[in-house]
Structure formats: structure tokens, C-alpha cells
Structure 1
Amino acid sequence: MGIRDDVSAGINVALHVTLLGGLAWASGQPILFPSLGPSAYLLATGENPRAEGAYHVVGGHAIAAVAGFVTYVALADGLVAVDVFRAGTPFSPAVGRLVLSGLLAMVLTTVGMLWSDTNHPAACATTLIVALGLMSSPLEIAIIVGSVAILVGFHGTVVERVQELYGVEPKDPR
């Protein structure tokens, strides 16, 4: 990838994050969250058939969100990693419950994505975000899946058109 492709990818990522950031700002809801960064990167930098596309991106994050939610509710309901880790208590039962929630969520997400052939690695961050209590309410699960769908839809309807009109589509996908 040359300088032109690198700048093109940067412009494309900026378009994705501007939309989601604007929606988060306007709504006050967590529409922009960490695992969307790698998803936007994959969409912006070119074809990666095992990780890109609506089926992979939305499907992977949906599986991850559900897996994280199920394990969080079963093992760590009410705990939030930021609060629990702030205490810094060695061998804390609360930390142990969050670790088990994250571990089981990762296993379920990995198996679920492999069985469904969604294969979107960025979704593994989503499952930990949910399993560690950072976004773990039913509303937040819906926001996660909705945000990912918006990201993919915006990419397909706006970003790809901008790429074609202004020649900012990376020519050498990584």
C-alpha cells in the first residue's frame, strides 16, 4: 500500500467514525465504542473476505454481544470491570467472576463465529466489553448491534460512493 492508499484509508476511517461519533454525541448513547475501531479499519482498508462484509461484521458482533451478555448475566451480573479493578484486591471473588465471564464469552464467541462462518476478529473485543460489564444492559446490546449495522450500511451506501467519486478507495487492500 502506498502513501495514496494510506491516506485514502485514513479518510475512509474518518468518515465512519465521524458518523458514529456524531450519532453518539447527538443521542448521548454509547454508539461509538472501542471494538468499532477495528471494524471501521477493516472496512476502510479494503477487502478481507474472512473479516469484512455485512454478514461477517454484523454477524460477528451480534454473536459476540449475545455471548458476552449471557455469560455476564450468568456469572458477573452487576459488576463493572472498571470499579472492580479499581479496588486492586488480589484474588477478589468479583474479579474472578468477571474473568470467568470474559473467558467463557471468548470461548462462546470463537465457537459461534467459526460455526456460523462470520469470522470477524474485532468482535472478540465486543464480547469482552459486554462480559466485563462495560456495556451489558439489553439496551446496550441492541445499541452495539445497531451501531455495527449502521457502520456497515454507511460504508456500503456512502463511503464506497465517496471512494468511487473522489478516487479514495485503497487500490492495494491489506
Structure 2
Amino acid sequence: MGLLEKLSVTADETMDLRDDLSAGINVTLHFVFLGGLAWGSGQPFLFPSLGPSAYLLATGDNPRAEGAYHVIGGHAVAAIAGLLAYVVIADGLVVVDAFEAGERFSTDVGRLVLSGIVAMILTTIGMLWSNTNHPAACATTLIVALGLMSTVVEIAVIVVAVALLVGFHAVVVERFQDLYGVEPEDPR
């Protein structure tokens, strides 16, 4: 099967431009809000793992991965697990600096890799035990465990940013969806 055949829509499938544009508008609203907070405060209220979380919120209901308990709880578990692994294994290191040296079998890179592995193990177990189940939070644990956002203040910013994302979705985006009819009908 060629690329064009894979990209074409069959008779059984339909493209719903309205749904796709609705999801795009919803994601835009989330990131204008968080980007404005980051810009206005100078704090990292915008970080990579919020992308998948906003996507899940914007594209419709997915009960195992979406909703306040899962999104906030998953990121909180991940941030704490990442911080614990980082402080114990790689405290003071930052992945960007460690790889910049380009040294093979570097002790610093090894410690960061181990920190990431331990953080993923702790996050997986923590989310399963707490039934938070938010896959996007696995990126958060790596952000923390690799030294990119690894202070207590940054952990607080992560949890607050996620809570604000979920709250903004519930209070503003859902009302916007109702008012203008831009709620996706086909959760994906």
C-alpha cells in the first residue's frame, strides 16, 4: 500500500473538518492561556508534556486519560517520582549539558539515564496504584528526572500549570464549546 492510499479516506471513513477545527480551536485556547501565564509570570507554565494533556482535553472524552483526577493526579505522581529519582541519582545534572560534552559512557549521562529509568518505573507504579492513568505524565517525569525542571518550585509550577489547564478547560473552553458549538463530536 502506497503513501497516497494510506492517506486517502475510504467510504467507511469520513473526515470531519468541523470536529478537527473544533479540536484545533480548543487546543489554541488552552495554549494561549498557558502561554500568556508563562510570558506574564516568567515561570515555565508551558512545558512539553502539557501538549498531549491539552490534546486529550480538546479532542473529547477519554475517561482513562482525561478528567481532573487523571490529568492532575498523573502529572503530580510523575513530578514527585521524577524529583525523587533526580535528587537521589542525578542531582545537579542537566541532560542538555551532559549530552553537549558528547562523551561516550559519561558518568553524568549514565546517572541521568538511570534517573529517567527509575522515574518511569516509579511513575508507572504510582499511576497504577493511584488509578490516575494519564500517559502524557510520563513526559513530565522525564522532564524532571533529566534535570530540565527539577526544583521544588518548578515541581509546584508543573502541578499548578496542570491544575490551571484542567480548570481553564472546565470553566472557559467547555463554555466556549457550548456557546459556539465547537465541541468535537468524535473523541479520539
> Shorter chain as normaliser: what TM range?
over 0.9
1:116 and 2:91 equivalent?
no
Deviation at 1:6, TM superposition (A): 0.2
| Match in the other structure for 2:38 | 24
Q: Tell me how far apart the structure 2 counterparts of residues 88 and 63 of structure 1 sit (CA, whole Å).
A: 32
Q: Tell me how far apart the structure 2 counterparts of residues 58 and 172 of structure 1 sit (CA, whole Å).
A: 24
Match of 1:70 among 81, 84, 95: 84
Deviation at 1:54, TM superposition (A): 0.2
1:7 and 2:21 equivalent?
yes
Q: Which AA in structure 1 matches 2:72?
A: V
Deviation at 1:74, TM superposition (A): 0.2
SS for the counterpart of 1:91 is: coil
Q: Tell me how far apart the structure 1 counterparts of residues 181 and 76 of structure 2 sit (CA, whole Å).
A: 32
How many corresponding residue pairs? 174
Deviation at 1:97, TM superposition (A): 0.3
Q: Which AA in structure 2 matches 1:90?
A: R
Cα deviations by residue, 1:95-126 (Å, 9 ceiling, x for unpaired): 00000000000000001001111000000000
Higher RCO by CA contacts (8 Å cutoff, separation 6 or greater): 1
Q: Tell me how far apart the structure 2 counterparts of residues 134 and 126 of structure 1 sit (CA, whole Å).
A: 10
1:42 and 2:56 equivalent?
yes
Cα deviations by residue, 1:135-157 (Å, 9 ceiling, x for unpaired): 00000000000000000000000
| Match in the other structure for 1:33 | 47
Q: Tell me how far apart the structure 2 counterparts of residues 124 and 15 of structure 1 sit (CA, whole Å).
A: 24
Match of 2:166 among 145, 152, 158: 152
Q: Structure 2-normalised TM-score?
A: 0.92
Deviation at 1:12, TM superposition (A): 0.1
Cα deviations by residue, 1:53-109 (Å, 9 ceiling, x for unpaired): 000000000000000000000000000000000111000000000000000000000
Q: Tell me how far apart the structure 2 counterparts of residues 20 and 144 of structure 1 sit (CA, whole Å).
A: 11
| Match in the other structure for 2:149 | 135
Deviation at 1:20, TM superposition (A): 0.3
Bigger Rg, structure 1 or 2: 2
Q: Which AA in structure 2 matches 1:138?
A: V
Specify every segment of 5 or more residues in structure 2 that has no aligned partner in the other structure, as ranges: 1-14
SS for the counterpart of 1:68 is: helix
| Match in the other structure for 2:71 | 57
Q: Percent identity?
A: 76
Specify every segment of 5 or more residues in structure 1 that has no aligned partner in the other structure, as ranges: none
